[in-house]
Amino acid sequence: MKLTIPDGYKPMLDPVQTERAIKMVKDFFQANLSAEMRLRRVTAPLFVLRDTGINDDLNGTERAVNFPIKDMDDNVAEVVHSLAKWKRITLGKLDIPLGYGLYTDMNAIRADEELTNIHSLYVDQWDWEIVMSNEQRKLDFLKLTVNRLYDVLKRTEYQIFEEYRELEPQLPKNITFLHTEELLEMYPDKTPFEREMAAAEKYGAIFIIGIGSVMLNGEKHDGRAPDYDDWSTETVNGFKGLNGDIVIWNPILKRAFEISSMGIRVDKTALLKQLDIEKMEDRKELLFHKMLLNDKLPLTCGGGIGQSRLCMYFLRKAHIGEVQASLWPDEMVEECEKNKIFLM
């Protein structure tokens, strides 16, 4: 059981206050996200058909929860992992213009998740996607987008502080951009996660560029599926990647805390290159991939922002189960109760 019990932990909000504050975080953040990024809210699916290429593979190893559909000749549906590809298809269907986009409430089940303070079987996030031009497929545009999202995070944190004065703002004024190669150079003797820990503690909020690409030491900082984020395009100084993670320092758990994975999505060139790198060329025959290769999908930038992760951070909770209802091992529930961590 991987459970962290912070020394002297005591919830700053009681259960009733917590429920009210969760709603405040979610209402305020999504309204400001929509306004800042010019996003239209749409309704999202809980599941999609298998073998269409629409579901996301995340790191490429997670199994999707699935079931046969009786009234559709037992064709198999999969509960979504996230909606990166579905959003891109939907942007095309709705004919949303350049510079505008959509967001949605994404609910998922990740059965292979290792249950910890920050990982749950149930995933809830805001999935967002905007239409961009080919000229915008650059690192500067990605950084601009990250800064806009970070501004929404800062505004949300202050709004919560206005209502609950004990929840003092912790986010730094600016987010720091670091490439995986720069982290490797800064901390050559550490593992990727240890590098994130050290950098997040030093800067408070970082955006790690190039998740999924192989670094100069022959390793990946972390895995990414080859068919949604563009992690193979060279950017500055020969470094690769037009994607990344927003990672902040969690003062309660005293650890790096990822709240968003995002990036500029693959175009035809990047898709073919990344499928070749990962030896997954057979995916070119799937519905989504055929649409992209036949110029039937817009160029986009997008990502996901963890709802429960944000609530956990802003409300200074020690366990994600304090802000969402899920299932946990009995021994974890018992140990949490002993230490004033009350899981929903």
**pLDDT for 17:** 94
Average pLDDT, the chain: 93
Catalytic residue among 30, 260, 261, 308: 261
% of residues, the chain, pLDDT over 70: 98
**Would residue 170 show up in a list of annotated catalytic residues for this protein?**
no
Question: What is the pLDDT, as a whole number, of residue 58?
Answer: 58
Burial category of 339 from C-beta neighbours within 10 Å (exposed 0-12, middle 13-18, buried 19 and up): middle
Whether 261 is catalytic: yes
Catalytic residue selected from 88, 110, 283, 309 = 110
The yes-or-no verdict on residue 60 having pLDDT over 70 is no
Question: Is residue 140 annotated as part of the catalytic site, yes or no?
Answer: no
Q: What pLDDT does 82 receive?
A: 78
Q: Is-catalytic flag, 224?
A: no
Q: Smallest Cα–Cα separation from 335: which of 110, 52, 2, 65? A: 2
The answer to whether 125 is a known catalytic residue is yes
Residues 6 or more apart in contact with residue 140 via CB below 8 angstroms? none
Question: Does residue 37 have a pLDDT over 70?
Answer: yes
57: pLDDT strictly greater than 80: no
Q: pLDDT digit string (tens) for 273-283?
A: 999 999 999 99
Q: What is the pLDDT of residue 111?
A: 83
pLDDT in tens, 103-152: 999 998 888 888 999 999 999 999 999 999 999 999 999 999 999 999 99
- Catalytic member of 56, 181, 196, 322: 56
* Pair 286, 53: CB distance under 8 Å: yes
From the list 82, 120, 125, 274, the catalytic residue is 125
Q: Could you read off the pLDDT of 173-228 as tens digits, one per residue?
A: 999 999 999 999 999 999 999 999 999 999 999 999 999 999 999 999 998 889 99
d(CA 218, CA 261): 23
Quickly state the pLDDT bin for 56 (edges 50, 70, 90). Answer: confident
Whether the pLDDT of residue 40 is over 90: the answer is yes
Domains, the chain, ranges and CATH?
15-338 (3.30.930.10)
* Known catalytic membership, residue 41: no
Give me the mean pLDDT over the 257-270 stretch.
Answer: 96
Q: Which two tokens stand for residue 232?
A: 């193979």
pLDDT of residue 279: 93
Q: Is the pLDDT of residue 59 over 60?
A: no
